[in-house]
Structures are given as C-alpha cells and as structure tokens.
C-alpha cells in the first residue's frame, strides 16, 4: 500500500515535460529527506504531536505506513488500564458483557496491551476521532463479530459524546448519529454478504434434482444481501467481514441442508464446495462494492476472528476457560490446520488474501492478535446452553481491533 501511494505521487510529478526545475525538485526533496532522517535518528525521544505536520519528519510517517500492526505480542500492564467505556454501555449485547456477568477475569482483560513488534499502536482517542471524522458515515458490514467491533466503537464514542440519534441508516440493523459531530456509525447485518434462502427440490425436476438434491440453501454468489446493498453508496468508510457462517454445519449441513450455489440465477454445475463458493461470492461482492464507490471511500476487509473451543467444538462441550493469553506455541497447537476444531480461521484468511490482492480494499488483519486471546471470550458467562468461545467480551479485544482500524485509517489518510 505504501508502494502504491509512492507510485501515484511519483507519476504525478513525472507527468509534466522534463524541465530543469524537476531535477532541482528531486535534489531538494532528497536533501530534505536526509535532513529529516538525521533529525529523527539524532533525537529518537522526540515524538511528533499528532496534528503537528511540519515537525513530523517524513521518515517517521514512512515507518508508520510500513508498520505491521498485526505482528506483535500482548504485554501485561501492572494495573488495569482505564477503559474508554464501561460495562454500563447500553450497546453491549448482554451475552458479551463479561464484567456485568461477573466473568472471573472480566476486568483483567483490560490489563493486556497489544505491542506491535516495530512500532506503537496508538489508543483510539474518542474525542479526537469524533472531530476528525465529523460529517461522515462509517458502516460495519458483516456477521455478529463485526457487530461486536461496532459495539466497541459506539461505546467508546458515546462515552465522549452522549447526544445521539438511534436509527437505521441505509437498511442497517442499527446505527447512531453523533449529533454534535454529524458522524454516523451503522451496523449492517449479513452472514454471508450474499443472499441466501431455503431451497427444496421442485416436482418439475432440474439439474440439482437430477443429482439427487432434495433440500438445502440456495446461495446466490452474485447478489448482495439486501441489508447492506445500499451501504456502499451511503458510507465513506466501510469495514466488511464474513467467515464463520461458511463453515457452520449446524445450519448448512453438507448432507441435510447443503449450500447450493447459484450464479446469474442458475445453479453452478457441477456443484461446488463452500470453500469455492466463498471465494466466488467474495469476488462478486468486491466488484459490487468497487463499482458503487469512489477511490475516496475507504474500504476495509477485516480478517477472520478465531474461535477458541478446546476439548471439542461448540456443540460437543468445547470450552475456553483460560484466564491468560495463549503462548505462541499453544496458538499453533490450537490453530494448526491439522486440528479441525478451530481450523477455519486460517483457511478463510488464505482465500481473503488471495481475492483481495490488487483490489482497492485495505486488509485489517486482526487474526494473529486475536488467536492469542483465548481468555477474552464470554465462555460460560455468555448466557447460552454452550460456552461462547467465538464472540468477545466488551470492553475487551475488539477495542484493540478498533485501535488498529483507526491507526491504519489515519496512516492512509495522513494525519
């Protein structure tokens, strides 16, 4: 991404017919860069203030653009870091309210700080965010894990500015406008991004009937679900996700109720696996979004949020009772693709990276930091028959996802 920005700028400069001032410009620019490099090397303790662009040496901005926020480790702080909101935020879905539900380590979750290996991840400052993104619309599009991230952002911002209008912009499931800032944040609920519905064999027969299919789900890989179809035209910043539902045999049982993929209104023949259907749907939806947005729309795709069921899958007594983050080798044991229970996260990411490559989407990679956090799920306090080792406690991990989201956003927009 850094490379793309550089190329664009370089070609814009190179476009006018050659002139001696160009050479002078290059010389001057190199000189300034050198000065900046020397300056930043000589005074490492000087941290530029956010909106102080003149004193922000280019070398440092370059660092930020190439910094990989997803590569790092969790550092325990000596004391709980004050959260930017608490468990009384009304937007927290009740099963995710670990402090309210007295999860044993509910408060300890806030003691862990994500430290990228080669840079610092700034904490999202709610007031600064409200100012910076006033007069804009931000849409989260995806499954309940994106709602989890949405709720975290809403809670952070509401703690800084309580005057909101609750409504459903552009077909959203829920949304808020921060009235003093004319900033709207919405969540568009969609499991697969694409449209799907029950399918059963017709008496008239057909290609799927001929192959023996009696019932299942029709999944239209080229039709966006209505809940978000209007979102690309409405929002200035979009954050997408999908993943878990493609590997959810409780709903899309490969035998009892398989996913049957359709394109252009016709069944794909021979029928394809969910893994292939997933890639096809992604390709179509990326195109759909790119056709309806301009280069000014910031588009993010969030990588897969991992689950931490140990000792069995969610419906087979799997649990997540850890009270500390995992160690790196434990992560490998739990997520190695040989181990079926939690294997899908990395499979999903492989497809995501492949399909998103070369598109205008930025990838928000939260998988690694989340794989380590087996301690941060609601577990037995999720209020379900089984343990919830899929969603995240709030306040909690998705606050850090939002830190990474906003840091990436600002790196690309420039401070």
Ligand X SMILES: *[C@@H]1O[C@H](CO)[C@@H](O)[C@H](O)[C@H]1NC(C)=O
Dihedral angle over CA of 30, 33, 35, 38, nearest 10: -120
Q: How far is the CB of 321 from ligand X (least distance, A)?
A: 12
CA atoms of 407 and 178, how far apart (whole Å): 21
CA dihedral of residues 59, 15, 413, 279 (deg, nearest 10): -110
Query: Burial level of 235, CB count in 10 A (0-12/13-18/19+)?
Result: buried
* Choice between 198 and 357, CB closer to ligand X: 357
End-to-end CA distance of the chain: 16
212 CB contacts (<8 Å, ≥6 apart)? none
Choice between 222 and 310, CB closer to ligand X: 310
To ligand X, the closest distance from the beta carbon of 382 in angstroms equals 18
3-state percent helix, strand, coil for the chain, nearest multiple of 5: 40, 15, 45
CB-based closest residue to ligand X? 71
Q: Which residue lies nearer to ligand X by CB, 139 or 274?
A: 139
Say how far apart CA 163 and CA 183 lie, in whole Å: 11
Task: Provide the minimum distance between the beta carbon of 195 and ligand X in the complex, in angstroms, as a whole number.
Answer: 27
- Do 261 and 268 meet the contact criterion of CB atoms below 8 Å apart? yes
d(CA 227, CA 184): 17
Give the interface with ligand X as residue ranges (CB under 6 A).
68, 70-71, 135-137, 182, 310-311, 333-334, 336, 338-339, 341, 368
Q: Which is nearer to ligand X, 146 or 341 (CB)?
A: 341
- Please report how close the Cβ of residue 312 comes to ligand X at its closest, in angstroms: 7
Residue 193 or 366: which CB sits closer to ligand X?
366
Q: How far is the CB of 330 from ligand X (least distance, A)?
A: 9
Q: Give the shortest CB-415-to-ligand X separation in angstroms.
A: 21
* Choice between 183 and 282, CB closer to ligand X: 183
């Amino acid at each position: 991404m850094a490379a793309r920005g550089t190329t664009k700028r370089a070609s814009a400069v190179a476009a006018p017919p050659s002139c001696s001032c160009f050479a002078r410009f290059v010389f001057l620019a190199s000189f300034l860069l050198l000065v900046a490099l020397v300056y930043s090397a000589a005074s490492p303790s000087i941290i530029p203030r956010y909106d102080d662009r003149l004193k922000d040496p280019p070398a440092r901005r370059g660092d930020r653009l190439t910094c990989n926020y997803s590569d790092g480790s969790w550092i325990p702080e000596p004391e709980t870091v004050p959260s930017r909101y608490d468990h009384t935020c009304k937007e927290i879905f009740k099963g995710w309210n670990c402090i309210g539900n007295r999860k044993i380590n509910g408060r300890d979750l806030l003691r862990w700080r994500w430290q990228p290996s080669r840079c610092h991840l700034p904490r999202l400052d709610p007031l600064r965010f409200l100012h910076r993104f006033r007069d804009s619309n931000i849409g989260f599009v995806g499954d309940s894990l994106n709602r989890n991230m949405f709720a975290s952002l809403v809670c952070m911002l509401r703690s800084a500015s309580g005057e909101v209008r609750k409504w459903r912009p552009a077909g959203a499931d829920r949304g808020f406008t921060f009235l003093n800032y004319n900033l709207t944040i919405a969540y568009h609920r969609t499991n697969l991004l694409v449209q799907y519905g029950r399918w059963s064999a017709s008496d008239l027969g057909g290609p799927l009937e001929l192959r023996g299919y009696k019932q299942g789900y029709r999944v239209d890989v080229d039709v966006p679900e209505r809940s978000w179809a209007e979102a690309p035209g409405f929002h200035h910043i979009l954050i997408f996700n999908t993943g878990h539902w493609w590997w959810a045999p409780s709903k899309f049982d490969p035998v009892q109720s398989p996913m049957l993929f359709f394109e252009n209104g016709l069944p794909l023949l021979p029928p394809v696996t969910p893994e292939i259907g997933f890639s096809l749907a992604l390709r179509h939806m990326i195109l759909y979004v790119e056709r309806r947005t301009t280069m000014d729309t910031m588009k993010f795709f969030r990588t897969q949020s991992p689950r931490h069921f140990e000792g069995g899958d969610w419906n087979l007594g799997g649990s997540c009772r850890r009270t500390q983050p995992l160690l790196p080798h434990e992560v490998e044991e739990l997520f190695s693709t040989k181990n079926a229970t939690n294997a899908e996260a990395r499979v999903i990411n492989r497809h995501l990276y492949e399909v998103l490559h070369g598109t205008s989407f930025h990838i928000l990679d939260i998988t690694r930091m989340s794989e380590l956090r087996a301690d941060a799920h609601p577990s037995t306090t999720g209020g379900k028959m089984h343990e919830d080792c899929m969603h995240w406690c709030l306040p909690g991990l998705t606050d850090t996802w939002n830190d990474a989201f906003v840091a990436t956003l600002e790196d690309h927009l420039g401070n």
